[in-house]
Amino acid sequence: MIDIHAHLCFGDYDKDLDEVIAKCKEELAGVIVGTARYEEGMKALSTVSKHPGFLFPTLGFHPTEGGKDPEKIMELIKSNSGKIVGVGEVGLDYHWEKDQEKQRIQKERFSKFIELAEKLSKPLVIHSWDAESECFEMVKNSKVKVIFHCFSGRRELAKEIVSRGFYISISTQVLFSKNIRKIAKDMPLDKLLLETDSPFLSPDKEKDPRNYPWNIKLSAEKIAEIKNISKEEILEKAKENAIRVFDLKIARA
Ligand SMILES: [Zn+2]
């Protein structure tokens, strides 16, 4: 199995990152290490270099928490374009940003990252909280592969995104959100991608506030139930799709 979006380079794992990665290796074929800040991106580049064929980085800029210097991250992306498997997460966040002028700045920055992904022919991993249709409007004519990470928008929009040939990555939210379960139900198997967005979205916050990449198997169980097929088939399809979409050179597929 493959988790296509985990922030393993978040401070939450500073103390035991090696153990977490070792456990990932017992259970998964690969993990895409998503990033959204400069320091996180730097740490991801050095961490993944120690685990070739298993950890794969994407470099991005969070619309509200990415810092003040998106240009610096764009430079980092350009100078590491051979090492990364995607640009992201990047996008719009109108959940935390209600100010229209600041939303306009988010759009301006996002459009530069879209252009960069196009120039480098890299998949674009999108953060779209409460701005799902605005994000879709901005990318719908793009030629790059587009993945809406942790999508929590409307079911109808999800259908439109998928019929446009884009991807919606199903997070561990599927364990607690009815809306995400409906979206998962509609999702054709050849479009299915799974992610945890670790350390966020822990399936059981009281037991452990952190999430881990191997928890995609819990999502797969839930989706298997909804779609009435086996958990193994869900995990296998999601893995095949991840390898194809991100062109992953998996060491132990
Ligand atoms: Zn994320």
Average pLDDT over residues 222-236: 98
- Residue in the block written with tokens 């456990």: 23
CA of 5 to the centre of ligand 1 (A): 6
Average pLDDT over residues 160-168: 97
CA of 232 to the centre of ligand 1 (A): 25
Average pLDDT over residues 152-163: 97
Asked whether the predicted pLDDT for residue 224 surpasses 90, the reply is yes
Half-sphere CA count of 50, side-chain side, radius 13 A: 9
CA of 1 to the centre of ligand 1 (A): 19
Residues of the chain above pLDDT 70, percent? 100
Average pLDDT over residues 206-219: 97
pLDDT classification of 253: cutoffs 50, 70, 90 = low
Helix axis angle for 100-120 and 132-139, nearest 10°, is 40
Which of 5-9, 139-143, 248-252 is predicted least confidently? 248-252
Average pLDDT over residues 59-83: 96
According to DSSP, residue 125 is labeled E
Average pLDDT over residues 175-198: 97
Q: Supply the mean pLDDT for the chain.
A: 97
Neighbours of ion ligand 1 (CB under 5 A): 34, 197
Asked whether the predicted pLDDT for residue 107 surpasses 70, the reply is yes
CA of 229 to the centre of ligand 1 (A): 28
CA of 6 to the centre of ligand 1 (A): 7
**What pLDDT, on a 0 to 100 scale, did the predictor assign at position 189?**
96
CA of 160 to the centre of ligand 1 (A): 22
Span 108-135, pLDDT tens digits: 999 999 999 999 999 999 999 999 999 9
So where are the chain's domains?
2-246
Helix intervals (H) in the chain = 17-27, 38-49, 70-79, 100-120, 132-139, 155-163, 178-186, 216-227, 231-246
**What pLDDT, on a 0 to 100 scale, did the predictor assign at position 252?**
74
What fold is seen in the domain 2-246? TIM Barrel (3.20.20)
CA of 210 to the centre of ligand 1 (A): 13
Residues of the chain above pLDDT 90, percent? 98
